[in-house]
Structure 1
Amino acid sequence: MPRPGGNRPASERAKDFKGTIRKLIIYISHERIALIVALICAIVSVLFNVVGPRVLGQATTELFSGLMAKVAGTGSIDFQKIGMILIGLLCLYVASSCFNLLQGWLMTGITQRVCYRMRREIIEKIDRMPLSYFESNAVGDVLSRVTNDVDTLGQSLNQSVTQLITSVTQIIGVAVMMVSVSVTLAGITFLTIPLSLLLVLIVVRSSQRYFRQQQVILGRVDGIIEESFSGQNVIKVFNREQRAVADFDVENDRLYTSGWRAQFLSGIMQPLMNFVANLAYVAVVCVGSFLAVGGAVTIGDIQAFMQYVRNFTQPITQLSQVSNMLQQLSAAAERVFEFLAEDEETADAQTPELPRCRGEVTFDHVKFGYVPNKTIIHDFSCNVEPGQTVAIVGPTGAGKTTLMKLLMRFYDVNAGSIRVDGVDLRDYARGDLRENFAMVLQDTWLFKGSVRENIRYGRADATDEEVEAAARVALADHFIRTLPGGYDFELNEDASNVSQGQRQLLTIARAFIADRPILILDEATSNVDTRTEERIQRAMDALMQGRTSFVIAHRLSTIRNADVILVLRDGDIVEKGTHEELLALDGFYAELYNSQFAEGGEEE
């Protein structure tokens, strides 16, 4: 099976961490007011929490002093004072929780709005992308950017922004409180900072590339799953189930390895920081006991300081986790921004005011290649009158479908021009140009929904009566009424609950209801049996009446009645004429035609 996901190296790091974070900050700047309020709430919540241990220490000191006075017989425990201190402490913690709840509510709204906007922009971007992008990139990788990468970005953004602010605020606040309690004990605690930072740096540098690798491989895994799901019929026919699983296992193993390494390196930060915290904790207890005996600090100060030691190392651990989340954030955001920055179709022209298209099409010395220095169509010229049926035949790779892509302006010509009613295609807005075309393709595309909705896709404002009239003309009405629910019958995602011929008739009905002056039929009968082909051919003959029609066909028997047949070879017209004229020439067309019936098949 083909490998989805492009040609990225598996170990690729985030290419521009700072640049991606800068882009993300600019992207979410429209949420700055809510973001600032959320950050202020987070800071206030942390500050109230930081003051708490010092207040609790005062209660402990008051209790210890009263107890000592009671033992010495010089006083008693002042429970009223202790109660007032504890009530104040309770108010601090309640206020802290309220501000924390508010910032959580605000940040959740911010991240969800950012994700909503990002998904919307991706979908809108898809509509502006050139066809070449979809022909060269895996569907699963694009889907992964819309789903996995945006979800990862949202989750990481929600957690990392507030965690970063609260951790920094807590470190600064706790450091100030520790110095205010005891400079000596604070100095002992601060000695652990270099060790903590060194451990954080080592782990972050090691884990950074695995988070990027994880997102890239996840896109490949999604691509393989999408291919396996959509290609189950082919996989089963060729007994390739084990091969499909083996191909998936290769990428799944890589995803497991990168995910395991990323999560392991992220996970060991907590025990490492706990080890550093325990070192500081033991040192503070030992030195603090001597200071308390000497009267330099109170018992409540020692208690508060031990809490501050925990509260000091905890945000350092959180910062290490934030750094991992920021790596995930940048990896996901980079992939999303890469997609949003992809080249779009060239800018549209302003379509001149024109009457309804008559259907005259002129190819004037057209030259085109998908990539530079690889020309497919060398010098193609042809004039098609309104209402003519033009058949385009030739071997595979001759440029037949490419011509139709140029006519629909999925690509622009490299040289020469294509004109519709005398107007160069590049002078049309693409949407206005395509309003003149209807297509019936070899690969039918129908969406999950009712038969009626699928036909109405050709013209959104069509009434039920017009839908049914189009189906009758397309010879689809009879089979539709035999379906459970008739026109309200629900097609599944790939429309596999109706036959290939029935799907084709529905697409013809859709083209009928669109009522466009120019029609493109690309191998429309190649996937059906002879009897169904005859029925589809009659429906197409009705559809082509009064329209300029371009018919691409491998079965040459289906284009005998064309007004003109263009025979292409290597991107050039080698013969031109009616069916009888080309057979009389006894040239390339006659060779193609006779080769199809060499076994004694159909007669002329």
Structure 2
Amino acid sequence: MKKEQASGNIVDFKVLKRLFTFAKPYMLQFNLLIFLTVALAVLVPIRPYLIQYTIDSDVANGDYQGLVQMVWLLVALLVAQAIVQYFHTYLSSWLGQHIIRDIRTTLYAHVQRLKLKFFDNTPIGRLVTRNVSDIETLADVFSQGIAMMIGDLLQLVFILIFMFYTNWQLTLVSLSTLPILIFATYIFKEKIKVSFNNVRSAVANLNSFVQEHITGMNIVQIFNSEDEELRKFKDINKEHRRANIRSVLYYSIYFPVAEVIQAIGIGLVVWYGAIRMIDTVFEPGELIAFIMYIMMFFRPIRMIADKFNTLQMGIVSSNRIMKLLDSEEHIPNEGTFVPEKFEGAVSFKHVWFAYNDENYVLKDISFDVEPGQTIALVGATGAGKSSIINLLSRFYDINKGSISIDGRDVQDYELQSLRRNIGVVLQDVFLFSDTIKANISLGNEDIPEQKIVDAADLVGAREFIDRLPGGLEYNVMERGATLSVGQRQLISFVRAMVYDPKIIVLDEATSSVDTETEELIQNAIDKMMKGRTSIVIAHRLSTIQHADKIIVLDNGEIKESGTHEELLAKDSYYSQLHKMQYKEVVISE
């Protein structure tokens, strides 16, 4: 598995600028948060100043009444600080949660518009990481990262102002250890940046592996490769553990070092202040206030360093999210044409298509289908049959040529209108872990239950649905695990029919079922195709003998076309396929 690498700077202003575009709807709350941050930064350093005044004035002069008044003032200050702190914490979290909700919605909507080619090349687990854990990390950036760091920086500024105003000599002495702390903080920041890049990469790789292998667990168990896959998982999990332990190591070194530097600073202030007090230059209150200032000053620096964790993970996650949002691998929905009625005429003219823009899987494909006609696409695996139906619904766009419906290029149609009128039934039916009704309507509230019942009647699915506990409200579990292959296929027919499409596309819809179920499904197909243009990809040639036209594909090219009888008479590609299948049937009998 290819490991994902990431990079990011501790302060990436381009990323931060893009993140704050999501804060525009909440500017009132954001401005209030800034006000509370400034208020909190001002309130914190006032307390040592008041204590200094109390000791040097009220206590030194024996002013009991003044002392009581100052105590009440300090209590009021603490209450005010607590109230401001409460609203600051709540508002920053509120703002963060609302912003990440909007980012997650924007990202998910963007992912829905991406080309299938993108999903062909991107592990699903990695996309899950982007939409869940990466965005969750951004909540901490807004609630604990940026707001807290700005508050800590403002506290440093106001503390320095009070310190210099009180005594510039003691200020210089107390700050003499600051260069050492800044150097240690810089080293810590650089190490933790690399460390958390590795952590996020390890998380993405772990998610991708787990999602992929749980989805394919039946293959793992069929081929008895549990031990080998467990070994791979242990290796990935070990790398995840190492990345996290490295980050913990840097914290375990940095914070004791910061504590020692702070203690040295306090010791220098006490030593210098005591000497000056002996000379009656300093008042006792000044020394006590400075000890408090130093503790207050070093705490924001340590907290800012601690926030490197949160902010760096947020920057890394933001880079990944923005990279995904910047992906232009989506089908352009520039068409505006919404027809009042589809007739169902389909035309491919000299169509060339490649998944990787190099190796063409369709080469100069041309054919026409009249409204109400049925054509069948046959050929060996990899001949290009499924690619044709993917292009018709614009899951991919062609490289050269044109595809039109009712005489108008498919790119002129509004994308939702186009796909709403093309019913696609795939060989591999995907059902969500939800009720049968929800799997048919896909949450579309405009589809009444009676329409679902009528469609189920039409394709012959009503009987087995009624036998299930709860009928349409029966939960099919993940991927329809509680239903048979044939039942899942019938539900996919109902799902296609409730939208009453004018074009039906069937991708080998009967290739995975037994003969008895195939007969049931074939009856459903006949009812579905009545009065509609139908494009059928067939594995069993016996199911398409009555098609109006059969197109034989080989290596992305049309080799021949015609009716069943015409193609048999040519004694070429189709005839050989027919003989091979007939021989297989005879042998099996």
Regarding TM over 0.5, the answer is yes
Residue in structure 2 matched with residue 52 of structure 1 by the alignment: 47
Q: For the Cα contact (< 8 Å) 2:374–2:533, is it kept in 1?
A: yes
The answer to whether 1:287 aligns with 2:272 is yes
Distance 2:361 2:74 in 1: 79
The one-character-per-residue Cα deviations of 1:452-493 (angstroms, maximum 9, x if unpaired) are 232334974333333222212211111112211222212212
The answer to whether 1:82 aligns with 2:67 is yes
Question: Which residue, 471, 474, 477 being the options, matches 2:456?
Answer: 471
The one-character-per-residue Cα deviations of 1:94-147 (angstroms, maximum 9, x if unpaired) are 111111212222211211110110011012112221221112111111111111
Q: For the Cα contact (< 8 Å) 1:269–1:320, is it kept in 2?
A: no
Offset, 1:64: 5.4
The answer to whether 1:240 aligns with 2:225 is yes
For the residue of structure 1 that corresponds to 2:76, the secondary structure is: helix
Residue in structure 2 matched with residue 269 of structure 1 by the alignment: 254
Offset, 1:566: 0.6
Q: For the Cα contact (< 8 Å) 2:338–2:413, is it kept in 1?
A: no
The one-character-per-residue Cα deviations of 1:341-365 (angstroms, maximum 9, x if unpaired) are 1105354344446341111111111
Residue in structure 2 matched with residue 432 of structure 1 by the alignment: 417
Residue in structure 1 matched with residue 361 of structure 2 by the alignment: 376
Question: Which residue, 25, 32, 35 being the options, matches 2:20?
Answer: 25
Distance 1:577 1:357 in 2: 26
Moved more, 301-310 or 157-166: 157-166
Residue in structure 2 matched with residue 329 of structure 1 by the alignment: 314
Q: Which amino acid letter does the alignment assign opposite residue 168 of structure 2?
A: V
Question: Which residue, 577, 581, 585 being the options, matches 1:596?
Answer: 581
What does residue range 537-552 of structure 1 map to in structure 2 within 5 Å? 537-552=522-537
* Number of corresponding residues: 589
Distance 2:347 2:41 in 1: 72
Q: For the Cα contact (< 8 Å) 2:200–2:316, is it kept in 1?
A: yes
What does residue range 468-507 of structure 1 map to in structure 2 within 5 Å? 468-507=453-492
Q: 1:498 to 1:275 in 2, by over 3 A?
A: same
The one-character-per-residue Cα deviations of 1:434-457 (angstroms, maximum 9, x if unpaired) are 122001111112222222232334
Q: For the Cα contact (< 8 Å) 1:266–1:324, is it kept in 2?
A: no
The one-character-per-residue Cα deviations of 1:368-411 (angstroms, maximum 9, x if unpaired) are 11222322211111111111111101111111111111111112
Q: For the Cα contact (< 8 Å) 1:458–1:511, is it kept in 2?
A: no
The one-character-per-residue Cα deviations of 1:210-233 (angstroms, maximum 9, x if unpaired) are 212222321221122222332232
Offset, 1:599: 3.9
Offset, 1:237: 2.1
Q: Which amino acid letter does the alignment assign opposite residue 314 of structure 1?
A: R
Moved more, 480-489 or 584-593: 584-593
Residue in structure 2 matched with residue 42 of structure 1 by the alignment: 37
Q: Which amino acid letter does the alignment assign opposite residue 568 of structure 1?
A: L
Distance 1:16 1:367 in 2: 47
Question: Which residue, 170, 173, 176 being the options, matches 2:155?
Answer: 170
Distance 1:262 1:153 in 2: 19
TM-score (normalised: structure 2): 0.95
Q: Alignment identity in percent? A: 30
Distance 1:515 1:459 in 2: 14
TM-score (normalised: structure 1): 0.93
Residue in structure 2 matched with residue 74 of structure 1 by the alignment: none
Distance 1:281 1:522 in 2: 78
For the residue of structure 1 that corresponds to 2:478, the secondary structure is: coil
Distance 1:226 1:287 in 2: 63
Q: Which amino acid letter does the alignment assign opposite residue 157 of structure 1?
A: F
What does residue range 207-222 of structure 1 map to in structure 2 within 5 Å? 207-222=192-207
Offset, 1:249: 2.0
Residue in structure 2 matched with residue 513 of structure 1 by the alignment: 498
Q: Which amino acid letter does the alignment assign opposite residue 442 of structure 1?
A: Q
The one-character-per-residue Cα deviations of 1:486-541 (angstroms, maximum 9, x if unpaired) are 22212212210111111101111222222111000012112222221221111111
Q: 1:408 to 1:458 in 2, by over 3 A?
A: farther
Q: Unpaired runs of 5+ in structure 2?
A: none
Q: Which amino acid letter does the alignment assign opposite residue 12 of structure 2?
A: F
Distance 1:365 1:423 in 2: 16
The answer to whether 1:8 aligns with 2:4 is yes
Distance 1:159 1:407 in 2: 49
Distance 1:445 1:263 in 2: 43
Offset, 1:569: 0.7
